C-alpha cells in the first residue's frame, strides 16, 4: 500500500526546509536564510508510530505575486498540495500572522485536504509567545502546534496530528487483486492514448475508480489476461505561463504513480527517442525497485527496413544503460499494433519481480559463480563469500555474507547479479544485493 503523502507548505523563509530536514533526519533540503531557496519539491521519508510517510518540501508560496520565480514556486507547491493526503502549513511566530498566511490558509481549505498549522520558531522553553495565539484566526479544524525546527521540539506533536488526520492504516483504500500498472513518461508520449486503447479492446470489463486520496483517475481493466489497474500519470494538465511547468508536473506525477505501482510502463515517443526527461522518469521507477517495461509508442510513424528494430533497440538500451533487464516492446496506440503483447509482458514481469528462490538453489549458483570467476583480492587479502539468501521480493532482494564488504567491488556484484539472471531470469525487474560481513545481522524480510 502506498505511503501517505504529507506536503509542507507556507510562505517563503518560515523554515520549511529546516523543518523538513528535522523530520526526515538528514540534511537533504538546502537551508539558507534567503527567501526562495527551495524552488522545487524535495522528497523524503519518515516513520512515526510505525507508520511510514512520504514528505514533500515545497518552495514558498506568495499568493499574489508577479515575480516569475515566486510564481514557479507557487505552482510547484500547488502540485504538491494536489497530491498530498495531509498538508502542514508552516508559519513564523516571529513575524506573527500575516495576510499571506491567511490567503494560503484559504487556498488550503479549498483543497478539502486536512490542514495542520505548525507555528515555527517557538524556540524558548516555557510559555508560548503571545503572537502564537493569533494563528487560531486561521480557522483550521485543528489547533495550531508550536514547533522549533532548529531544536526539533513539537515535531512529534505535528506528526501525531498528521496520523490523526489520516484514515487508519489498511483502510485508506480497498484491497483488490489487480496488478497496479503506472503508465509514465513525458507529456505527449501517448500515455492516455494507450490506456484508451486498453479500455477499447473487446471482452474487457471497464470501470473508472477514483485514485485513493489522489486527484488522478485509475482505470480498472479486466480481460482474458487478468485484472489490471492502470494509473494514468498524464490525466490532469494545467495551462500555465511557467515555461518548465509541464516537465516538472510530469515528474511529480511519475513519483506519485510509481509509489503505488507493481509494474511501470515507461512510454517512449518513437519519433523523439530517449530524451533526458525519459531517462529521468525511467530512473524514478528503477530507483524505486519496480518491475519495468519499455514501451516505444508511435511505431507506425517510423519508416523501417530490416535493421530498424535492432538499431532502435540498441539505441534505447544505450540511453537507459541501467535498465538492460527491462523488456522492450514496439507498439502503436493509434492502430492497436502489438497492444495485447503489453498485457503478456505485464504478467511476465510481475511474476518475475515476485519470484522467490530457495537458499539452497541460490548457493548452488553462488558456488558455480565463484568457481568460474575468482572473487577479487586486494593487497594479498581475498574476498570470501560464505552464503546468500533472499529476504524479500518486489524487487528480489538478496543478502550476501562475506569476510570483507570493502573487497566486494561493484563489478563483482554485477557479475553475481548476471549469474542470477542467467539462471532464474528476473526479466523486467531490478535486483538488489545487500552485502554483509560475517557477524552482521541480515535486514528483516
- Averaged pLDDT, 194-204: 66
Distances in whole angstroms, Cα of residue 331 to Cα of each of 96, 258, 377, 410, 423: 58, 22, 47, 35, 30
Hey, is 68 helix, strand or coil?
helix
- The residue among 361, 372, 441 whose CA lies nearest residue 396 is 361
How much is the pLDDT for 254?
Answer: 65
| In the predicted structure, residue 282 carries a pLDDT above the cut 70 | yes
- Averaged pLDDT, 57-73: 65
Tell me the residue ranges of DSSP E strands in 112-258: 115-120, 145-146, 179-184, 205-210, 217-223, 226-232
Least confident interval from 42-46, 355-359, 381-385: 42-46
Answer whether 355's CB lies under 8 Å from 393's CB.
Answer: yes
Least confident interval from 222-226, 256-260, 363-367, 427-431: 256-260
pTM of the model: 0.63
- The fraction of the chain above a pLDDT of 90, given in percent, is 51
Most confident of 69-73, 215-219, 310-314: 310-314
- DSSP bridge pairs for 207: 220
- DSSP bridge pairs for 292: 264
How much is the pLDDT for 427?
Answer: 96
Distances in whole angstroms, Cα of residue 203 to Cα of each of 103, 193, 226: 51, 19, 12
How much is the pLDDT for 162?
Answer: 95
Q: How many CB atoms lie within 10 A of CB 392?
A: 15
**Is 324 or 28 the better-scoring residue by pLDDT?**
324
- Model confidence band, residue 433 (pLDDT cutoffs 50, 70, 90): very high
Please state, rounded to an integer, the average pLDDT across all residues of the chain. Answer: 82
Look up residue 336 and give its three cell numbers: 492497436
Least confident interval from 151-155, 233-237, 334-338: 233-237
Q: How do residues 86-115 score in pLDDT, each as one tens digit?
A: 999 999 999 999 998 998 899 899 888 999
| In the predicted structure, residue 40 carries a pLDDT above the cut 50 | no
How much is the pLDDT for 363?
Answer: 95
Amino acid at each position: 500500500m502506498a505511503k501517505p503523502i504529507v506536503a509542507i507548505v507556507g510562505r517563503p523563509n518560515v523554515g520549511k526546509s529546516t523543518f523538513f530536514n528535522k523530520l526526515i533526519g538528514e540534511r537533504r533540503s538546502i537551508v539558507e536564510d534567503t527567501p526562495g531557496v527551495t524552488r522545487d519539491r524535495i522528497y523524503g521519508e519518515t516513520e512515526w508510530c510505525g507508520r511510514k510517510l512520504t514528505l514533500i518540501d515545497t518552495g514558498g508560496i506568495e499568493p499574489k505575486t508577479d515575480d516569475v520565480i515566486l510564481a514557479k514556486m507557487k505552482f510547484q507547491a500547488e502540485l504538491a498540495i494536489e497530491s498530498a493526503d495531509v498538508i502542514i502549513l508552516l508559519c513564523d511566530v516571529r513575524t506573527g500572522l500575516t495576510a499571506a498566511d491567511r490567503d494560503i490558509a484559504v487556498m488550503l481549505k479549498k483543497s478539502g485536504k486536512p490542514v495542520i498549522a505548525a507555528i515555527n520558531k517557538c524556540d524558548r522553553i516555557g510559555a508560548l509567545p503571545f503572537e502564537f495565539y493569533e494563528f487560531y484566526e486561521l480557522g483550521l479544524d485543528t489547533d495550531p502546534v508550536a514547533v522549533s525546527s532548529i531544536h526539533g521540539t513539537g515535531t512529534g506533536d505535528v506528526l501525531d496530528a498528521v496520523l490523526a488526520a489520516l484514515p487508519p492504516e489498511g483502510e485508506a483504500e480497498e484491497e483488490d487483486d489487480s496488478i497496479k500498472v503506472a503508465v509514465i513518461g513525458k507529456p505527449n508520449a501517448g500515455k492516455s492514448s494507450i490506456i484508451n486503447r486498453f479500455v477499447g479492446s473487446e471482452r474487457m470489463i471497464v470501470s473508472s475508480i477514483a485514485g485513493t486520496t489522489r486527484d488522478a483517475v485509475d482505470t480498472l481493466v479486466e480481460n482474458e489476461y487478468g485484472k489490471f489497474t492502470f494509473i494514468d500519470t498524464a490525466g490532469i494538465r494545467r495551462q500555465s505561463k511557467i515555461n518548465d511547468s509541464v516537465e516538472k508536473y510530469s515528474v511529480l506525477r511519475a513519483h506519485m504513480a510509481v509509489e503505488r505501482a507493481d509494474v511501470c510502463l515507461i512510454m517512449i515517443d518513437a519519433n523523439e527517442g530517449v530524451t533526458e526527461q525519459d531517462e529521468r522518469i525511467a530512473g524514478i521507477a528503477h530507483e524505486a525497485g519496480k518491475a519495468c517495461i519499455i514501451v516505444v509508442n508511435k511505431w507506425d510513424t517510423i519508416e523501417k527496413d530490416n535493421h530498424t528494430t535492432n538499431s532502435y533497440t540498441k539505441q534505447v538500451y544505450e540511453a537507459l544503460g541501467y535498465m538492460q533487464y527491462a523488456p522492450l516492446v514496439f507498439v502503436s496506440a493509434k492502430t492497436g499494433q502489438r497492444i495485447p503483447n503489453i498485457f503478456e509482458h505485464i504478467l511476465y514481469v510481475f511474476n518475475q519481480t515476485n519470484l522467490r528462490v530457495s537458499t539452497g538453489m541460490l548457493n548452488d549458483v553462488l558456488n558455480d559463480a565463484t568457481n568460474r570467476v575468482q572473487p577479487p583480492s586486494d593487497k594479498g587479502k581475498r574476498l570470501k563469500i560464505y552464503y546468500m539468501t533472499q529476504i524479500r521480493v518486489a524487487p528480489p532482494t538478496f543478502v550476501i555474507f562475506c569476510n570483507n564488504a570493502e573487497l566486494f567491488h561493484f563489478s563483482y556484484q554485477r557479475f553475481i547479479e548476471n549469474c542470477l539472471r542467467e539462471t532464474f531470469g528476473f526479466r523486467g525487474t531490478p535486483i538488489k544485493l545487500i552485502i554483509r560481513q560475517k557477524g552482521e545481522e541480515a535486514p528483516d524480510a
